[in-house]
Amino acid sequence: MDFSLTEEQEMIVGMVRRFVREEIVPLELDLDPDADSLKVEDQTRLVEKTKAMGLYGLDIPPEYGGPELDLVTRTLMAIEMSQHRAGLYAPCYGVFGGAGLAQLFEATEAQKERYLFPTLRGEKRGFFGLTESSGGSDPARAIQTKAVRDGDDWVINGGKIFISGADKADFGLVFARTDPDKGRNGVTCFIVDTDTPGFYVRRIIHTLRSAHYATELQFEDMRVPHANVLGEVNRGFAIANDRLTRQRIPYAAGCIGVAIKAHELALEYVPQRETFGAPLSTRQGIQWMLVDNEIDIKQATWMTLEAADKATRGEPFRKEAAMAKLVATEAGSRVVDRCMQMFGGYGVTKDFPFERWYREMRIRRIGEGPNEVQRHIIARDILGASLR
């Protein structure tokens, strides 16, 4: 397996790297350290630049106006896009765009007109509503939100938790149980408008993630037309599972990018910082931290690119995506922690991005499926039927 970059990949990665370092990083100097958005005028200007570069809407298929880039190239770009202060939870502050809800590409033509195309134009926002308080780590069996058919409608009762962006969304994908006897084969995905009677945002849930937060939702006799079923009835979990598996690759790539940037800052700092008459870079303890950083970054990068490569070639990649997510989130956390230690007291101040990365990296070991679940996925793959 050869991951040497092609000339086109070298060019694209170089473009993204220059864009982030010349356009994004300088703007962050004047922002609150926990900011997750740019000034409107700056974001508008930068979106126009990425569109002119042909790099806007990375996860949008070419037939819908997105760039024709394979997943390996997009993964390499995601690594570069995250190398700034807000790199984990605001990748370039949205200036590279994205579909937001990739499942909508499988929608009916009428659903695309009402939800997909307005989302691509930036006119609507959506949310992904899967997790419930009954057990987010096993969503297929934990879903207790129920949908019951009533004529041309479905009546939905239940709730969701830890849902990002629902309070600002126009619609969302809500997964509800439509057949209580079929486990993961009894879940259906519904497109739900947030102004539907019976849809409530119960509360905002503040987390470690800097300025980011989640929401808790409640559904009370919420009526959704049958025309808003996404895909087939009782086949909703397949939609969710595909999203969760594929999303783990860019999720891992973001952690790698932050680790690379943290390591870069440390490499610049330790030769300049003196203790007891000698630079920190001469201390074996520091040298070994830097070596461990290099190993963690290399290992996570190769495993993530392997997952992307298998997905690009149409091969099964569920295990590889789980391994990439597991390794990159844990390795990235270690790298940031070491760099914070090398900076000493400065490392825990908001003068540097380490403390923000430290907090945001922590939740990455939970998001997109906790790392314990990733280990279960990997174990199930290598043990097969003996684990069932």
| C-beta atoms surrounding 300 within 10 Å | 28
From the number of C-beta atoms within 10 Å of its C-beta (0-12, 13-18, 19+), residue 152 rates as exposed
Q: Are 153 and 202 in contact (CB under 8 A)?
A: no
Torsion region of 313: left, alpha or beta (phi above 0 gives left; psi -120 to 50 gives alpha): alpha
178, burial (CB in 10 Å: exposed 0-12, middle 13-18, buried 19+): buried
Rounded CA-CA distance 336/346 in Å is: 13
List of residues 6+ apart from 151 with CB closer than 8 A: none
The position carrying tokens 């209580």 is 180
Sign of CA dihedral 343, 344, 345, 350: positive
Structural contact between residues 271 and 279, judged by C-beta atoms closer than 8 angstroms? yes
Tokens for 356?
Answer: 């923000």
Catalytic residue (one of 23, 306, 368, 372)? 368
CA dihedral 217, 220, 223, 224 (to 10 degrees): 20
Is residue 368 annotated as part of the catalytic site, yes or no? yes
267/279 Cα distance (integer angstroms): 12
| Alpha-carbon span 58 to 70, nearest angstrom | 10
If you ran DSSP here, which 8-state letter would residue 21 be given? I
- Residues carrying an active site annotation: 368
